[in-house]
Structures are given as structure tokens and as C-alpha cells.
Amino acid sequence: MTTQISEPAAEAAPSRPGKPRKTPRYRNTWRKAWKRDWQLYTLVIVPLLFFLVFRYAPMLGNVIAFRKFVPGGSIYGETWVGLRYVKMFINDPNFWEVFGNTMALGALSLIFTFPLPIVLALLLNEVRSRYFKRFVQTVSYLPHFLSIVIVAGMVMQLVSLEGTVNQIVRALGGDAVSFIQDPSWFRTIYVSSEVWQTVGWGTILYLAALTTIDSQLYEAARIDGANRWQQTWHVTLPGIRPTMITLLILNIGTFMAVGFEKVLLLYNPLTYPTADVVSTYLYRVGLVSNNFSYAAAIGLFESVIGLTLILSANAISRRTVGTSLW
Amino acid sequence: MTTDPTRLAERLDQPARPRRTSLDDSPGYRVFRVVNAVVLLGVVAVTLYPFVNIVAQSFSSEVYIRTGQVNLVPRGFNLDTYKLVASDPAFWNSYLNTVIYTVTATAISIVLTTVYAYVLSKHRLKGRGLLVGIAVFTMFFNGGLIPNYVLVNGLGMTNTIWAIVLPNAISVFNLLVMKAFFESLPTELEEAAAIDGLNTYGILLRIVLPLSKAVLATMILFYAVANWNSWFQAFLYLDRSDLFPVTVYLRNMIAGATSATSVGAVETNAVAISANIKAVTMVLTVLPIIAVYPFIQRYFVSGVMLGAVKQ
């Protein structure tokens, strides 16, 4: 299987050092390249094998979405069943519920985790003391270095019946809420923990972009009578716009893949109505209930939407604002 | 543009604009600066609180945690829970597994990433565009959970270390960071070395790598932290508890208390594993990261910028 797949790319270059063949001109260029750079080509073999086996073989492996997979049989399935599994999820009411949840969580995450780093970066940029600025940055980056398992554990402790959040609720005269078992709170918990973990780290690129803004622009704005706020609005924000758009496109591209691992760690059967997302649903269908082909069909659908989103976001941004990833 | 990670990090400390102006002394701006400082201190407090809370719980008696009396300082201070967790061979075994997986996976990743990035940085190479494309495409499209799972099973890697260290060996982001770095090295050095009779392997080993210590250190940190923190690969592919890394050990501990299999059992199970044991396990799991964090943070920052500039 491996050799069969690796043939086109891995062998194309290295396999023709031998005798000259029929179409000398084309072969010659590759032959010259091989002769000059064969050592570079040999270096590429192992990493290329990695990509072919662990990245491209699973892409082809998606054909099991259209074939019947038998445990212990071929990883590409046994017999063709056409669109059977696609029809299955289109008619599956659970699927549409988790699809809606995915959209809701993705949208909420985008609404909060995209602008907040920009705000924090702008605030940090107004700090005069180098040490205070560095202190705030160092602390705010910290959650980014934690395992998602630790984050989930901390969240569970904080929102437990006797945790800090419920102590505040009680202090304000309310009744303790069983947050982790209550579907109506899941989205709030998920998005808050996401903000907590990512907002500081998200400022890095904006702070870097801020340093590249030409200080003469500020002087010119000041001469024109712009106050601090107007300077921010008319000089700073346009200055970091390319960075904002690049990060927005990347965020949109990961829209469908909303924190699979975090949801898996934080949800429970009681919170499925709001917490279950496409990826956790396909995890349960595929790996817990062993319905590989059906789950692969759902996964393929998810990846295709993700790819479509990033391609269209990129195209729209290139046409409208002239910034794009490629 | 400078590509030395340490110098990049210093650039972040520079103010983005000339500081003092007459407008700075306007009353409105002075108020803003006070408010700004308060807001930022609030961010710091909110960020740090969960850590302080967990540490306080880890030193407290279970009874105080269960009645919600532990917030910033330990109540009923004791080290018994630490002794209890430390005396559990399963905990130390999972800790050792994490170390083994992290070291092995990082070593494999670094070799593969360096070699591929070096080749990608050679603009004269025929077929280079294709090689870049093969890597970059995987950033936007992937096979998905099920085909990956079936593949790893099909290769017989379940319940072996290979299921942990191989499937994510190359991070394309790290690859692009290294490629950007190699591209910034002066080509004259390599040309001179070639004239002196070094072949490609010799140039890579004796000229390029010694010049790349900064970026190599950054990459090792990126991979090591990611591997230390990862849990899902192990969760998927390892069934035997003696192979679990510490993250899976911790996850099972937390999950045992909250995601009970039957709905009715959720509340009653909540006390199955006491909060202070969980807190101690969490503290011990993050300890290595927190210990090196002040030293590694700036490398991470510059690594991210190096990757982003190339975009």
C-alpha cells in the first residue's frame, strides 16, 4: 500500500539516473537535477513517506465512506455501497442537531476569540512601562502552554457545586447551579475557557504588527489634530488590518473543527443537547459504536465544509481587501 | 527582517510609537491610562486565579474543598495528598511514559522537520514547489478521525509507542518556520563549503545546523511542549493502562468523577475521586511546564512570529 501510493511523487525524481530514454529533452532536465541534487532528493524520502502514509493515505481512506467497512478487512472497505452513508446522515435528526451545535459553538468562539486579542493588544500597546507590559504578556501567554486535559480539569473545579463560580453566585444571593450538568450553560463555559486560554497568545502577532507601523504616520495625524483615539482609529487599526484579515481567514477555516478535544473532555450525556458537535458525534458513532463507514461519511462532509470555508474566505478577502493567504 | 528568534523577541518590547507628546498629558488620556492599568491587572488576576486555586486545593484537606472554603489559600494545610499520589505506582509509571513519549516523539519530529525544511529552502531544486505543496495542502484538508484510526490499526501500531510518536511527526507550521530560517542563512557560506569539498550532507551537518541552534532550540520546545500536553492519540490508540501517559491518567481521573456512563450516576459519582487528589495530579502534571515556562516563553513568541512573517 505504501509503495503504491508513494510512487508518483517520491520516485518521480530519484528513479531515473539510468540510461537515457526516448524523450531526451524532458528526461534530461530531471536527470540533470538528479545528478546535481541527488543528495537533497534522498533527504526528502523519509519525510515524504510520512506525508504519504499519515496524511494522504487517510485522505484516500475516506473512500470507506462509500464502501462497506468490515473490521479486520481492508482499510479501504470491502464493497461499494454508493451514497448510502451520505443519505443516512442527511436523514439523521441527531446529525442536524450536532450540526447546529457546531455552528453555534463555532460562531460564538469566532465572535469572542477573534476581536478580544486585538483589544488586548491595543491596550498593551498603550502601556508605557516596559516591565509592566512584559509582566502582563508573560502571564497572559501562560494558559496557552497547558494541556487541554488540565484546562478541562480546572474548569470542572471552578464550576463545581462548591467551586469559586458558585460561591460568587451564592454571595450575590443566587442558588448554586450545577453548571457542568446544565445544557444551557455549556456554551458559556466552553467559550469562556476558550477565551481564557487563547486571548493572551492571540495578541503576539498583533503586537508584532503594531511595531511595524511607521511612526511618521502618528506625527502626521497629530499635526492634523487627531487625538489619541482618532490616532488609534485612523492609523493603528488600518496598520494591523492585514494581520487581522489573515487571522480571520485562518479562524474561519477551523470553524467546523471547533475544539473537538475540549468538548469531548467537558461534555457529558446531560449536556449533549447543546454540547455535542459533529466531531464528537462522529467519534461516538465511529469509535464507540464501531460504525466506521457512517462516521467516515460524516467526517468527510465536515472536512469538505472546512476546506470550502477557507477557500471562500480567502477568495472573498482577496477580491474585497486584497489580502489573502496565497 | 531579522530572523534570530532572540532578537525578534526583543523587538516586541519596543514601543510601537514615540512616547511622550503634549496630548499624553491631557486629563482624558491620564484617566484612560489608569483605567487601562486596572483592566490589565484584572486580566492578570483572572488568568492566574485558576492556577492559584488548584495549588491551594492541592495543599488543603478534602473537607474544606467539599464545603467550598478553599479559594486563594490552602485550608487545613497538609502534604498528605502529595504523599498519597506520589505513592501510587500507576502515577509514576504514567509520568515515566510521558517522558519517554515526549523525548522519542520530539527526536523523530526534529530530524524529519529539519531535513524536509532544509530541502524546501533550496530554491534551485527542481520539484521544490511540489514538495512545498504536498506539505501545505495538509494544513487545509485532512483525512479525518476515522480513516486515521483505521490506518493506525491497519499498520498494527495500536498499543505501541509508534501510535503516539509517528502520526503527527511533522507539524507543517514548524516546517514553515524552519524553512523561513534556512532561507535567511547566507548562501555564500554553503557555496564556500561546497568548493572546499563538502557534500550536501556535510554542509547540512557541519555548516547549517551549527548556525541554526536558536531555531532548533525553538523547534525542540514547540514539539516537546506539544507532546507533553497531548492526550488524544494515547486515548485513542492505547488500551493498556500501563502504557498511559500522565495526561490520560489525569483525564480518566477527572472523567471518572463527571462523565458517568449512566445519567443518574452523575451526581453520586462526583465524589468518587476527591478534589484534592485531582488538584495534586494536575499540579504535578503542569509542574515541568511551569518550571521551564519563564525561560522558554520568549522562544515561543519569536517562533510564532517567524512562522507568521512567512505567511
Give A150's pLDDT tier (boundaries 50, 70, 90): very high
Residue A92 to residue A86: CA distance in whole angstroms: 10
- Identify the pLDDT of residue B15: 54
Residue B7 to residue B2: CA distance in whole angstroms: 7
B103 grid coordinates: 523525548
Instruction: List pLDDT tens digits, range A6-41.
Output: 334 434 444 445 555 555 555 568 888 888 888 889
Give B100's pLDDT tier (boundaries 50, 70, 90): very high
Question: Is the confidence at residue B150, as pLDDT, over 50?
Answer: yes
Give A246's pLDDT tier (boundaries 50, 70, 90): confident
Q: Which residue of A has its CA nearest to B229?
A: A147
Instruction: List pLDDT tens digits, range B21-44.
Output: 555 667 888 888 899 999 999 999
Q: Which residue of B has its CA nearest to A269?
A: B263
| Neighbouring-strand partners of residue A67 | A80
CB contact under 8 A, A58 and B36: no
Output the DSSP codes for B133-175: HHHHHHHH----HHHHHHHHHHTT-TTSTHHHHSTT---HHHH
CB contact under 8 A, B14 and A211: yes
| Neighbouring-strand partners of residue B243 | none
Instruction: List pLDDT tens digits, range B101-131.
Output: 999 999 999 999 999 999 999 988 888 999 9
Residue B197 sits at the chain A interface (C-beta within 8 Å) = no
Residues 1-30, chain B, touching A (beta carbon < 8 A): 11-19, 21, 23, 26, 28-29
Judged by average pLDDT, the poorest of A94-98, A240-244, A316-320 is: A316-320
Residues 99-158, chain B, touching A (beta carbon < 8 A): 112-113, 115-116, 118-119, 122, 124-127, 130-131, 134-135, 138, 140-151, 153-154
CB contact under 8 A, B143 and A57: yes
Quickly count: other Cβ atoms within 10 Å of residue B291's Cβ. Answer: 9
B227 grid coordinates: 507532546
- Identify the pLDDT of residue B79: 87
Cα–Cα–Cα angle for B193, B195, B197, rounded to 5 degrees: 75
- Identify the pLDDT of residue A8: 42
Quickly count: other Cβ atoms within 10 Å of residue B3's Cβ. Answer: 20
Residues A187, A189, A194, A199: what is their CA dihedral angle, to the nearest 10 degrees?
110
- Identify the pLDDT of residue B126: 87
Mean pLDDT of chain A: 84
For residues B152 and B71, the model is more confident at B152
Collapsing DSSP to helix, strand or coil, A132 comes out as helix
Q: Which residues of chain B neighbour A299 with C-beta distances below 8 Å?
A: 144-147
E strand spans, chain B: none
The kind and range of the H/E element at A148 are helix A148-159
- Identify the pLDDT of residue B43: 95
- Identify the pLDDT of residue A82: 81
Residue B61 to residue B74: CA distance in whole angstroms: 8
Quickly count: other Cβ atoms within 10 Å of residue B153's Cβ. Answer: 16
CB A292 within 8 A of CB A69: yes
Q: Which residue of A has its CA nearest to B29?
A: A228
Judged by average pLDDT, the poorest of A13-22, A44-53, A81-90 is: A13-22
Q: What is the pTM of this model?
A: 0.85
Judged by average pLDDT, the poorest of A78-82, A110-114, A236-240, B99-103 is: A78-82
Residue B205 sits at the chain A interface (C-beta within 8 Å) = no
B63 grid coordinates: 473537607
- Identify the pLDDT of residue B261: 39
Q: Which of B119, B126, B251 sits opposite A33 (nearest CB)?
A: B126
Give B67's pLDDT tier (boundaries 50, 70, 90): confident
Residue B171's φ and ψ, nearest 5 degrees, are -95, 125
Of all residues in chain A, the percent with pLDDT exceeding 90 is 34
Give B270's pLDDT tier (boundaries 50, 70, 90): very low
Q: Which residue of A has its CA nearest to B294?
A: A138
For residues A78 and B194, the model is more confident at B194
Q: For cell 510521558, what's the residue? A: B98
Instruction: List Cβ neighbours of B192 (8 Å cut-off, separation of 6 or more).
Output: none
Judged by average pLDDT, the poorest of A93-107, B26-40, B152-166, B246-260 is: B246-260
Question: Is the confidence at residue A122, as pLDDT, over 90?
Answer: yes
Question: Is the confidence at residue A320, as pLDDT, over 60?
Answer: yes
Residue B45 sits at the chain A interface (C-beta within 8 Å) = no
CB contact under 8 A, A164 and B255: no
- Identify the pLDDT of residue B64: 83
- Identify the pLDDT of residue B37: 94
CB B227 within 8 A of CB B106: yes
Q: What's the rounded mean pLDDT across residues A279-307?
A: 89
Q: Which of B66, B232, B259 sits opposite A162 (nearest CB)?
A: B66
Question: Is the confidence at residue A2, as pLDDT, over 60?
Answer: no
Task: List the domains of chain A with CATH numbers.
Answer: 83-321 (1.10.3720.10)
